[in-house]
Amino acid sequence: MQGLLIIVLAELRRIPGPNGCPVNHGRTLAGLVAAIIGVALVFNFLSSGKFIAESTALSVTNLAGPLGIIALGVTVLMIAGEFDLSVAATFVTAPVVAGLVMEDYGIDPVPALLLGLSCALILGFINGVLVVATGIPSFIVTLATLFVIQMFLRILLPQFSVEWNSESGLKDFLGGKLDIIPVAKSFAWLILLGLLLWFLMNHSRVGNWVYATGSRRGRPARAMGVPTRATKIGCFALCALLAGLAGIVQFADYGLISLTSGSDDNLMAIVATVIGGTSLFGGRGTVLGTLLGATLLSMFNIGLILSGVQGNWYFSLVGLLLLIAAIVNSRSQTRWRRGTATPDEERQTMVTAGST
């Protein structure tokens, strides 16, 4: 147990930064864990002991699961230096396609879900190719694709929602809650995916490519021979795939998906990612941070209700949380803004990048 802890801590310190020197993600992560514990205690006090309870754990993990899975994709993409504002639409598209195909054509769940996921993957590819081929900032491209996908969803689903009615083992496998601990299955999937992505990002060449692509607009990376264009397209595809997967997990758990499902998640996924320490400028961020960020946000949502705080204040508090987190994170960040480094800093980057 102790050994595992030491390994984890060592890994955290070892995460490479954009110029090859270890960046202190540890401070952000420690801060998040402290925040989670602190927030839990505060809410428990405010709600007269209702917060630290089994039902709360279920509610929080139920919210954090799909949100976190979307946020994982957004994180990887942001590390590569791009945004995807269309995740909310992809989140709905995959289960809608799967649900319609199961309902109208009686197709089995497994192929139906795979079809849904493929649609999500294709949407991600389209985003990636558009961004890479035209040079238009991803913020704009994915805003446009968000609108276009929403239009198609409206046409595809005039009945507004689709149910997963059939009893199926797959449905129970994906949704519901774990038996041993009061944690929603979607959260368990989040952790599993998080582990996979963590391995990908920190112990594989592809992961290095992603970090490198996002650093300094990818110029040093390209100089070193990293296939930045392919990496970016891959990240867009991964982001959309994860969003679609999140939608399918929620579909399995709740049993229904409607056009307005996941409408908050677009925004909240970005918030969770930024709270988790991922930089908007690319090249920096952690899977664990995002996971903690998503958990923290969900804790806020439930905690406010349990504490009897007037519901409309949720947005303000999330905004404050975002602001504080961003300020704290920027302190431990060097100024790797797009093009704000002085010529000296630029030269230094080229040298150290080349020497890795």
Partner 1 sequence: MSIDSSSLLNRRSFIVKSAVLAGVGVGLASCSRAEESSEPVAATPADTAASEAASTGASISAVFVGSLAGFPFWNQIELGARNAGEDFADLEIQWTAPTTYTGTGQIVQFSEAAVATKPKAVALNYVGPEMDACITTALDQGTAVQLYNNFAAATQSKDPRIAALAITASGLDKDALCKLSATQFAESVAVGDELVFFNQLPGTPEWDGIQNAYIAGFESLGWKKDQIKVNPATLDPAENLQIIESYLTANPNTKGIICADVTSGGPAVKAKEKLGLDLPLITWNLEDSTFADVERGAITQNVNQQPYLQSYFAVANMYMILKYGFVAPPYVDPGTLLITAANVAAVQSQFEQGIAG
Partner 2 sequence: MMGIQERATFGAISPSKGSDTARRFLRGSGPLLGLVILLGLFQTASGGVFLSPAMMGATTAFISGLGVVAIGVTMLMICGEFDLSVSQSFVFPAITMGALITRTDTPVYLAFMIAMGVAILIGLINGLVTVYFKVDSFIVTLAMLLILTSLTLTVATTNPPNILDVSSPLLDALGGTFLGTSIKAPFIWLLLIGAIMTLILTGSRFGSWTRASGVRGGQSALAMGVPVKSVKIVNFCLCSGLSGFSGIALVADIGLARPDFGQNFNLLAIVAAVIGGVSLFGGRGSVPGAVVGACVLGVLSTGLIVTGVDQQFYIGIVGLVLLIAAYINIRLEGRETGE
CA dist 131 and 124 (Å) reads 11
106 binds partner 2, rule: CB under 8 A: no
Provide the 10 A C-beta neighbour count for residue 224. 14
326 binds partner 2 (CB under 8 A): yes
**135 is a contact residue toward partner 2 (CB under 8 A):** yes
- Nearest approach in angstroms of CB 250 to partner 1 is 5
| Binding partner of residue 281 among partner 2, partner 1, none, CB cut-off 5 to 8 Å per kind | partner 2
Contact 213, 226 (CB under 8 A): yes
Q: Which residues 57-96 are close enough to bind partner 2 by CB under 8 A? A: none
Rounded CA separation 65/244 (Å): 13
Pick what 308 binds: partner 1, partner 2, none; C-beta below 5 to 8 Å, kind-dependent: partner 1
Instruction: Check binding of 202 to partner 2 (CB under 8 A).
Output: no
Contacts of residue 261, defined as CB under 8 A and 6 or more positions apart, other chains included, come to: 91, 92, 95, 247, 250
Q: Which residues contact 83 (CB under 8 A, 6 or more apart)?
A: 74, 77, 138, 139, 142, 270
Q: With respect to partner 1, which residue has the nearer C-beta, 56 or 75?
A: 56
**Quick check: helix, strand or coil at residue 258?**
strand
Site track 21-60 with partner 2 (rule: CB under 8 A), x = hit: ----------------------------------------
CB of 54 to partner 1, least distance (A): 11
Q: Which is nearer to partner 1, 95 or 214 (CB)?
A: 95
- Give the Cβ contact number of residue 7 at 10 Å: 10
Give the Cα separation of 245 and 71 in Å (integer). 12
Closest separation in Å from C-beta 314 to partner 2: 7
Please choose which of partner 1, partner 2, none residue 62 contacts, taking the beta carbon within 5 to 8 angstroms, the exact cut-off set by kind: partner 1
User: Least distance to partner 1 from the beta carbon of 305, Å?
Assistant: 4
Residues that bind partner 1 (CB under 8 A): 47, 50, 55-56, 59, 62-63, 66, 154, 158-161, 163, 250, 253-254, 256, 258, 260-265, 301-302, 305-308, 311-312, 314
Does residue 143 belong to the site contacting partner 2 (CB under 8 A)?
Answer: yes
Please enumerate, as own/partner, the contacts of 6-14 that have beta carbons within 8 Å and a separation of 24 or more.
11/202, 12/286, 12/288
Nearest-angstrom CA–CA distance, 238 and 260: 23
Q: Quick check: 230 binds partner 2 (CB under 8 A)?
A: no
